[in-house]
Structure 1
Amino acid sequence: MTTVIANMKDQQERGTGVGHVKFDSGIDFGTAPVIQAEFASRTANSQTFGYGVLDYRMELSLISGPEHPVRRRIIVTSTASDSHIWNLVFLQLLLEEAGHEVVNLGPCVSDEMLIREALDRGPDLIVVSSVNGHGHHDGLRVVGRLRATPGLARTPMVIGGKLGIGGPDPRRNHALRAAGFQAVFEGGRDDPEDLLALIDTLPSTVSA
């Protein structure tokens, strides 16, 4: 399990956090300032998949879920070419606060590693986040390889972030969906709510 900073409730009270960051991939960033979170009630000015946010500063929407949510097992991952981590940390906090079991593989995840981890863990959803502008090309390759792997052909997958260098593109969105992603998020204001709403429609393999 990835150890990140204090949970959202603690962050809301203190505003900042320091924690030990170690991803499931084995990458260890040690103890360091990770996020200075500025919480805004019912607003979400940062993108779920994180781009355009500097110095790990984020405004997170305090999204309240059901009292007894149905938990899903979710893999959060970057792509082989992307070394960013703050977008992954944001997603993990968002999903764990909603009650889900999150496996954060960290940055620079090879296709082979993602396939191996997905086969081993049997996730209900794979969330691919990329913020380096190459997410469109990397995403097409990754989803193609997973869809060609026995046991992963039907595993739900979504992708989001800065997927190209020219801003959101409907043609890129269509191509990624056609390749096998259930949804594509490119920085819309409602992305956090939309992601959680999509997850609520998925079946769960996690024991209650």
Structure 2
Amino acid sequence: MPSSQSAEEEEPQKKRAPWGVIALVLLTGLALIRNGSGEFAVGPPQPASAAAADSRVHGQTRDTGPAPLPFSLADRVKIPAIQVDAPIQPVGLDAEGWVDAPPAEDPNLAGWFTGAVSPGEKGTAVVVGHVDNNAGPAVFYGLGSLKKGNRVEVKRKDGRTAVFEIYGIEVVDKNNFPGNKVYSSNGKPELRVITCGGGFTKENGYDGNVVAFARMVKTV
């Protein structure tokens, strides 16, 4: 794996894969967080229907807002409302075309998908993480309890922090993953935070993904 410095130097020259292609891969790929055990007495919280992204504002272009940041590796994610404070490691696609997940044995670790923009750049960044593992709840166990207006802070390796505000959170069908809806970009810096959710069976694991939709509201 290249050092952070070489990655910083090389990444801006990489050609980003078009979301139309990535979304197809992720229709099954986001079952990456497929190790979620779901075998606890109380399952992870699920989003309320009222928290779904409003179609009237989803993807809406705003004339105002902070200017996009340049590329920088993601370093840490904080979601104060659910007490998340976790390091981020880069993740890509594995040999089978799945989005690679952070190691399941580390419950407090998130992954930034390198096939998308970095958090704070123009476009839609993607951060993923496990909902649970064999030992219990993991980093994004509480994601489904978030509400519109909650903040997600992503600290970057360049020392800047991109602050995002959630405008929708919902469960989507893993087998019919709505890639265009989840990954669409309006040319502004946005973020999706994704984990497993929905129903669970031992045979197939979770049947959905919890997706938090957020837009950047400031940088610090």
TM-score (norm 1): 0.29
Where relative contact order (Cα < 8 A, 6+ residues apart) is larger, the structure is 2
Higher helix fraction (1 or 2):
1
Q: By percentage of residues, which structure has more strand? A: 2
